[in-house]
Amino acid sequence: MPRHRLRWIALGATAVALACAAALAIWWPSEAELARRAGDAATERLGVPVKVGQLHWSLFPSPRVELRDVRTEQEAPLSAERLSAGVRWGDLLHRRLALTDLQLENATIPQASLSEFQVRPTDDGAESSLPFTLAPIPVERADWQGVRWIGRNGRTLVYAGSAEFDTAWRPRQAWLERTGAPVPTRMAITREGAEDRWRADVSAGGRTEQGTLRLQEINGRYRVTGAIDFTGVDVEGVMAAFERRAVVAGKASGHTDLIAEGADPAEAVQALHTRTRFTVARARLLTFDLERAVKTVGTQRGGTTQLDSLEGVVRTEADRGGTIVRYSDLKATSGVLTATGDAVLQNRRVSGHVAVDLVDGVVGIPLEFGGTMDDTTLTLPPAALAGAAVGTAVAPGVGTAIGARIGETLRRIFGDDEPEVPPPKRPAPRR
């Protein structure tokens, strides 16, 4: 073929390519338009306004979409500095939605704002209008770092983690770590074959223990159960990892069970309950001096108490107003003193009662405590205080304790006030 003819063919092909590129540029929306459409789609799905600052996409070496400065329009917005996802050419050409990886960086998630979400159900036929079908494994791997969780009380905790998924959103393996914790605090799970059962390796308080997790679907609802035994866990270390002030110092041993149930995994997590039976040898109370509280008939505040032993049961339950922690069957020994009682803790406010025996099971002083974790108070109920005064007149020392116990016992027998928040609060004293 003559050379000049080849030149004209090349020029013609170039012109056609340029014309196609120009037409594609006119037809294909700009990145700004795609960012707006992505925000509108998220708004429709989540039920709250969503804005996407920037959207970038590329096709080579493999298709990828990156979103930047994503945030909800709420009083306390959810935000993400960067959200990136990749797909394979084969899935894209077959119009199959399957992400090879999903990356989330520097996100902020206020717990209080999640309750404003009204997630649109997926069974309303909306999926059929999409140009893609959902793959059996929609996301193969997800990674996140710098994710700041803001609790209802304003406490901010930073997390990092990763998960690899099987079908039906079952994690094949995953890990979650408390970034910046003073001691390593991490949980890693590994699926056992194809069963809905996982081995859990939990590192906290200077120890790594192994437990189990199990997922069940019962009548269309999800139920997650788990169990773990632990030995020699530093209580202060665990609390410090989540920026909480410990009430007790020492090494704890015991057993924890957890259960969560809901219509979907997210609802199940929000309904999480745990129960832990524990013992702490050579424990130390960090909020008050028990012996001085007894000697001053409940007027002493602050201080610490060295204990020979501490045991009890602690239950936690998720609540819109903040996690509720209930302590029951508490028993502490310190020299000649034995104390038993229970308590409720929520949003750093504590309430409960304790009976302090000078001679185990024979002579005791009833005390009520309340206030905050930073300023816990121990007081005698009015009836017990009156009894203590009578006891002092009869016989100093032990007479005070006997009088206090008698005064409180008489109030319980003849009083008819109802408990304010059962359990474990005692009836309010009659005025």
Give the phi and the psi of residue 109 in degrees, each rounded to 5.
-130, 95
User: 164 and 216: one domain?
Assistant: yes
Q: Does residue 222 lie within any of the structural domains?
A: yes
User: Which domain-ending residue is among 88, 121, 154?
Assistant: 121
Measured distance CA(87)–CA(101) in Å, rounded? 8
Overall average pLDDT of the 112-140 stretch = 71
Of residues 72 and 130, more confidently modeled: 72
* Measured distance CA(98)–CA(138) in Å, rounded: 4
Q: Are the C-beta atoms of residues 383 and 407 closer than 8 Å to each other?
A: yes
Are residues 282 and 177 both part of a single domain?
yes
| Same domain, yes or no: 91 and 218 | no
Q: Is residue 63 part of a domain?
A: yes
Cβ atoms 83, 104 nearer than 8 A: yes
The answer to whether residue 281 sits within a structural domain is: yes
Residue 382 falls inside a structural domain: no
300 assigned to some structural domain = no
Q: Which of 71, 86, 121 is the last residue of a domain?
A: 121
Beta pairing class for 197-204 and 207-218: antiparallel
Res. 321: pLDDT tops 60:
yes
**Is the domain of 152 the same as that of 35?**
no
Q: Would you state the pLDDT for residue 400?
A: 40
Provide the pLDDT for residue 352: 83
Quote the number of domains for the chain: 2
Does 74 lie in the same domain as 169?
A: no
Q: Which residues constitute the domain of residue 175?
A: 146-286
DSSP-assigned states of every residue in 73-139: -SSS--EEEEEEEEE-HHHHHTTEEEEEEEEEEEEEEEHHHHTT--PPPS-SSGGGGSSSEEEEEEE
What are the pLDDT digits (tens) for 260-307?
998 876 677 778 899 999 999 888 888 777 667 666 655 556 678 788
Query: Has residue 68 been placed in a domain?
Result: yes
pLDDT-derived band of residue 336, with 50, 70 and 90 as boundaries?
Answer: low
- Hey, which of 193-207, 238-252, 280-294, 394-408 has the most confident mean pLDDT? 193-207
pTM: 0.76
Least confident of 178-182, 186-190, 354-358: 354-358
pLDDT of residue 212: 96
Domain end position, chosen among 269, 286, 303: 286
Instruction: Measure the CA angle with vertex 124, ends 121 and 128; round to 5°.
Output: 115
Residues in contact with 319: Cβ distance below 8 Å, sequence separation at least 6, in sequence order:
346
Residue 233 located in a structural domain: yes
Nearest to 250 by CA among 307, 302, 209: 307
pLDDT at residue 412 in the model: 40
Check whether residue 152 and residue 273 sit in a common domain.
Answer: yes
Does residue 153 form part of some domain?
A: yes
Q: 255 pairs with which residues across the strands?
A: 229, 277
Residue 424 preceded by cis peptide, ω within 30? yes
Based on the domain organization, do 155 and 281 belong to the same domain?
yes
Residues 273 and 185 both lie in one domain: yes
Same domain, 278 and 160: yes
214 and 101 in a single domain? The answer is no
Residue 199 shares a structural domain with residue 114: no
- 96 with 151, same domain? no
